[in-house]
């Protein structure tokens, strides 16, 4: 299948492009793309730059040029310089990836861009994917906004209506809509938001009807209003090879004029037999140490501070709170810290090969890893990270604040409450080697306390590349913008490996001859 004859995809609220990447990377058995991204729309300037660069990467039918890899390795110092060397591909990428704000841009402009993107493909099937921003739907988001007069009027409650307007106007053959689990309980003016979304999506107009399909449901997965059970649309990403316990609402809609209800029973994801763990995807990355923030990064300071734990009172307190063995392991890990480790960087030469999923993550043309730089931590946090990660290493569970020795407790006003069973009693959370990670969220951009690396001798939070691997982004996927924005992009993204499996079942449904691999 030539790229121009591939099934077109329109990606709304695209972020850095995780959902689109899953579709774009889906190949037929002959190795040709099943889909092409006809248009992706994203408002955030940093995510858009990531999206644009990935679009450029995909413009080359056989393989990206060496210049792309030289840019990742910082041998070419700007995207503009890269694009200047390949103007045709750059122009195509700019046509495909559009920085625009849905809900604010004029509907006529959006309609025109979609019509232009699909002009070469009609009347062949096409796919609409994406999801509105999720912060207002999340449990944490609602807890911050409850009591605020602006909550009921927050535009993020109604951005799905722009998605719905596009469905009404352009009538895709199939749509895929993703959003957070918090939608299951989120209300707007005393009505469950998801109930209304499901009803709207199933019957956008009187004459337009969509069959809604639940991809990860033990029964038939077919629903019609008013028989919706919103929980049935929850997808557990860890069941499908993603190394992360990520639970998201994913709704697939099939245009009734395109396929009959009975045929949609084939739209089911196949669960994997084994879980993919943190060890499977981040253990092979280069070891790096945390850096010290607030101007404290002096020669040898990191290792001296780490090794000071050997004689620290808080470690003796661990003997009383927990066990002599745990305290002994903390001291051993402190002694084994390596002061010669670097703090990483934009690119590090290394062998990043993996024992599992190497064909998905690794690129033999990239002799190292990108976006693998640690953030700075205050000295007190280094000992906290040492304690938390050693606790996880020994007990195979992340400790709560009630397990902390007093000397390591943060100086926050709500610590006493949290030490009970209050909110944020897992303020410091280590990821465990032999389990999938906890949900990687946009909060990782804040301080990293919820995403502590499982190796105590590195005493740090996850790097952008480690977070990207837990979100199943390939290693040649480069994230643009300041590091905080890179984290935010990853936390808000759809795991591409999950998206590719969704794309595969949609392809087989559209045309059974499109067997994918």
* pLDDT, tens only, 231-288: 889 999 999 999 999 999 999 999 998 875 556 667 889 999 999 999 999 998 999 9
How high is the pLDDT of residue 151? 47
Burial per residue of 334-362, b for 16 or more beta-carbon CB atoms within 10 angstroms, e otherwise? beebeeebebbeebbeeebebeebeebbb
How high is the pLDDT of residue 145? 44
Give the pLDDT mean for 71-85: 97
412 pLDDT above the threshold of 90: no
Give the pLDDT mean for 373-386: 93
The residue with tokens 């004859």 is 5
d(CA 54, CA 16): 9
* pLDDT, tens only, 145-174: 445 555 445 555 567 888 999 999 999 999
Confidence bin at 355 (pLDDT 50/70/90): confident
Share of the chain above pLDDT 90, in %: 68
Confidence bin at 185 (pLDDT 50/70/90): confident
Tokens of 163: 């998605």
78 pLDDT above the threshold of 60: yes
Give the pLDDT mean for 65-92: 98
141 pLDDT above the threshold of 60: no
Residue 240: count of CB within 10 angstroms of its CB: 21
User: Which member of 134, 278, 370, 394 is catalytic?
Assistant: 134
How high is the pLDDT of residue 513? 79
| Confidence (pTM) | 0.92
Element (H, E) at 373: strand 368-373
For 248-305, give the DSSP string. EEEEEEEETTTS-TGGGGG--PPPPSS---HHHHHTTSPP-PPEE-TT---TTHHHHH
* pLDDT, tens only, 57-69: 999 988 999 999 9
How high is the pLDDT of residue 191? 79
User: What are the φ and ψ backbone dihedral angles of 68, each rounded to 5 degrees?
Assistant: -60, -45
220 pLDDT above the threshold of 60: no
* pLDDT, tens only, 456-504: 999 999 999 999 999 999 999 999 999 999 999 999 999 999 999 999 9
Residue 423: count of CB within 10 angstroms of its CB: 11
Confidence bin at 292 (pLDDT 50/70/90): confident
How high is the pLDDT of residue 265? 67
Give the pLDDT mean for 333-362: 92
Average pLDDT, the chain: 88
* pLDDT, tens only, 90-135: 999 999 999 999 988 889 999 999 999 998 666 689 999 998 775 5
| Region class of 15: left (phi > 0), else alpha (psi between -120 and 50), else beta | left
Please list, in sequence order, all residues whose beta carbon lies within 8 angstroms of the beta carbon of residue 238, skipping any fewer than 6 positions away. 244, 245, 246, 275, 276, 436
Confirm whether 370 is a catalytic residue. no
d(CA 185, CA 350): 45
How high is the pLDDT of residue 1? 41
Residue from 214, 210, 224 nearest 256 by CA: 210
């Amino acid at each position: 299948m030539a790229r121009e004859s591939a099934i077109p995809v329109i990606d709304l609220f695209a972020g850095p492009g995780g959902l689109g990447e899953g579709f774009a990377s889906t190949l037929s058995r002959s190795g040709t793309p099943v889909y092409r991204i006809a248009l992706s729309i994203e408002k955030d300037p940093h995510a858009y730059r990531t999206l644009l660069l990935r679009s450029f990467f995909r413009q080359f039918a056989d393989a990206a040029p060496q210049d792309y890899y030289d840019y990742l390795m910082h041998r070419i110092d700007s995207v503009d310089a890269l694009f200047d060397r390949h103007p045709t591909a750059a122009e195509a990428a700019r046509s495909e990836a559009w920085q625009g704000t849905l809900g604010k841009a004029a509907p006529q402009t959006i309609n025109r861009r979609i019509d232009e993107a699909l002009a070469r493909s009609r009347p062949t099937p096409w796919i609409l994917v994406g999801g509105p921003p999720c912060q207002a739907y999340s449990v944490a988001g609602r807890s911050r906004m409850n009591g605020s007069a602006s909550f009921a009027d927050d535009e993020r409650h109604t951005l799905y209506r722009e998605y719905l307007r596009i469905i009404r106007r352009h009538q895709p053959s199939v749509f895929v809509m993703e959003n957070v689990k918090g939608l299951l309980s989120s209300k707007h003016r005393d009505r469950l938001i998801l109930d209304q979304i499901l009803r709207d999506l199933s019957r956008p107009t009187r004459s337009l009807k969509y069959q809604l399909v639940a991809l990860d449901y033990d029964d038939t997965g077919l629903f019609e209003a008013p028989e919706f059970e919103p929980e049935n649309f929850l997808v557990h990403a860890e069941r499908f090879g993603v190394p992360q316990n990520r639970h998201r609402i994913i709704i697939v809609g099939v245009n009734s004029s395109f396929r009959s209800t009975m045929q949609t029973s084939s739209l089911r994801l196949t669960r994997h037999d084994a879980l993919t763990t943190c060890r499977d995807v981040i253990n092979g990355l280069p070891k790096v140490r945390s850096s010290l923030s607030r101007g404290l990064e002096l020669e040898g300071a990191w290792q001296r501070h780490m090794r000071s734990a050997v004689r620290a009172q808080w470690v003796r307190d661990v003997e009383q709170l927990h066990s002599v063995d745990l305290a002994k392991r903390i001291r051993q890990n402190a002694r084994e810290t390596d002061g010669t480790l670097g703090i990483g960087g934009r690119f590090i030469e290394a062998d990043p090969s993996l024992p599992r999923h190497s064909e998905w993550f690794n690129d033999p043309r990239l002799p190292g890893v990108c976006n693998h730089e640690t953030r700075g931590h205050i000295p007190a946090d280094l000992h906290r990270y040492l304690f938390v990660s050693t606790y996880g290493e020994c007990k195979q569970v992340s400790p709560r604040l009630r397990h902390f020795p007093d000397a390591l407790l943060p100086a926050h006003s709500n610590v006493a409450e949290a030490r009970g069973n209050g909110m944020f009693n897992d303020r410091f959370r280590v990821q465990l080697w032999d389990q999938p990670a906890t949900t990687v969220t946009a909060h990782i951009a804040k301080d990293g306390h919820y995403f502590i690396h499982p190796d105590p001798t590195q005493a740090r939070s996850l790097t952008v590349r480690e977070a990207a691997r837990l979100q199943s982004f390939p290693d040649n996927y480069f994230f643009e913008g300041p590091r905080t924005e890179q984290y935010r992009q990853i936390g808000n993204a759809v795991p591409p490996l999950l998206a590719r499996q969704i794309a595969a079942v949609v392809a087989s449904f559209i045309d059974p001859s499109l067997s994918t691999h």
